[in-house]
């Protein structure tokens, strides 16, 4: 395919409520921006913002040499792919599997195609890292005819997992990255991923990013009987999706906020905030135990994401009941958010590694175009 042209690689990371964009020259970050609650990506506002992002990085009229897009759902795809008209058609078929993310991500692809014709665009799939999980970790207990329709556990936050593994290998050596690892990506969206020999072994998110742990505004896993009850009480499918994705989780339980910083500040006086935090920490702790059992032990626990990287109090509450795994925190290191926060005699290494999905997107694009 030839080598990537010299110039700037854009990494576009579109979430359900914001867009993050970064420009790189090789692995050097030139600029990073975040657009909160953007207008529809096909509108002039976002295109103007993209152009402003490039302004000052190079002479006027610059086009990037490559654009990498985070795509939440790639179904069974296990590698990045060049964006073509055929792939765009395929990704439109994936919208029902991630309706909170896919439309915005596809609109950004179309906007970039219009703005930068001829520039190679690379799709990097959040699900790809988990595509080779053991079959027992991907199956849903439904009649097999539904699996033929694509109903299975996919897993998400895969781009973050890839970056964290590369950082773990850089910081602690290749042997650490080949051990039994749990990656705790804890933010407004939260998941745990069990890794063995650098491969995804199991993960808490499943068919959609709404599954697994309780999150900022998402329920996580929910008894199907609750859904049946709510539908019988008159909720429509759209109302149910809005309830479990935007009105629940920490926000729903606390009735105050989805922001852990805010909840920690008011929890001493507000029992609802305290209960929301207790539920979050309990679920994370319980699922770490479950994934450690799946791995037959644990060598390294990595905290990442906005909560995982920045909240010593939450990390302590999660870890302080995991001594049975041989895990011991160093309170002083944890309070400082040191790179290693485990005690010297801890059998499990506990690390804080800031994740960087945009850097991983740019790496994927360069590696793909150098094939």
Burial of residue 56 (number of CB atoms within 10 Å: 0-12, 13-18, 19+): exposed
Using an 8 Å Cβ cutoff, are 340 and 350 in contact? yes
> φ, ψ for residue 51 (rounded to 5)?
-65, -40
Residue with the two structure tokens 């509108």: 43
Phi, psi for 213 (deg, rounded to 5): -70, 155
The tokens for 73 are 């759902």
Which one is catalytic: 33, 126, 202, 238?
A: 126
Q: At how many degrees (to 10) do helices 271-295 and 312-319 cross?
A: 60
Element (H, E) at 121: strand 121-125
Element (H, E) at 313: helix 312-319
- Residue 126 known to be catalytic: yes
- Annotated catalytic residues are 126
């Amino acid at each position: 395919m030839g080598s990537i042209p010299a110039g700037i690689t854009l990494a576009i990371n579109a979430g359900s409520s914001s867009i993050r964009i970064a420009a790189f020259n090789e692995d050097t970050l030139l600029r990073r921006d975040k657009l909160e609650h953007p207008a529809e990506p096909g509108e002039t506002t976002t295109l103007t913002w993209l152009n402003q992002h490039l302004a000052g990085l190079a002479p006027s009229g610059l086009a990037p040499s490559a654009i990498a897009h985070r795509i939440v759902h790639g179904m069974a795809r296990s590698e990045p792919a060049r964006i073509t008209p055929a792939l765009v058609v395929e990704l439109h078929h994936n919208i029902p599997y991630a309706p909170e993310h896919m439309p915005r991500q596809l609109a950004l692809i179309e906007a970039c195609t219009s703005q930068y014709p001829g520039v190679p665009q690379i799709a990097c799939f959040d699900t790809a890292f988990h595509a080779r999980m053991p079959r027992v970790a991907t199956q849903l207990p439904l009649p097999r005819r539904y699996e033929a329709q694509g109903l299975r556990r996919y897993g998400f936050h895969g781009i973050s997992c890839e970056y964290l593994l590369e950082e773990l290998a850089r910081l602690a050596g290749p042997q650490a990255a080949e051990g039994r690892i749990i990656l705790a990506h804890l933010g407004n969206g939260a998941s745990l991923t069990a890794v063995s020999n650098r491969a995804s072994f199991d993960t808490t998110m499943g068919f959609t990013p709404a599954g697994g742990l309780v999150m900022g505004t998402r329920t996580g896993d929910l008894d199907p009987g609750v859904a049946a009850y709510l539908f019988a009480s008159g909720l429509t499918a759209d109302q149910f999706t809005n309830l479990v994705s935007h009105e629940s989780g920490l926000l729903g339980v606390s009735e105050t906020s989805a922001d852990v910083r805010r909840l920690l500040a008011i929890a001493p006086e507000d029992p609802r905030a305290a209960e929301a935090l207790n539920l979050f920490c309990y679920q994370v702790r319980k699922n770490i135990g479950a994934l450690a059992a799946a791995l037959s032990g644990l060598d390294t626990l990595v905290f990442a994401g906005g909560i995982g990287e920045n909240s010593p109090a939450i990390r302590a509450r999660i870890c302080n009941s995991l001594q049975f795994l041989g895990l011991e925190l160093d309170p002083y290191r944890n309070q400082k958010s040191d790179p290693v926060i485990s005690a010297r005699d801890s059998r499990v290494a506990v690390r804080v590694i800031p994740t960087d999905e945009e850097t991983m997107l740019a790496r994927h694009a360069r590696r793909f175009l150098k094939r």
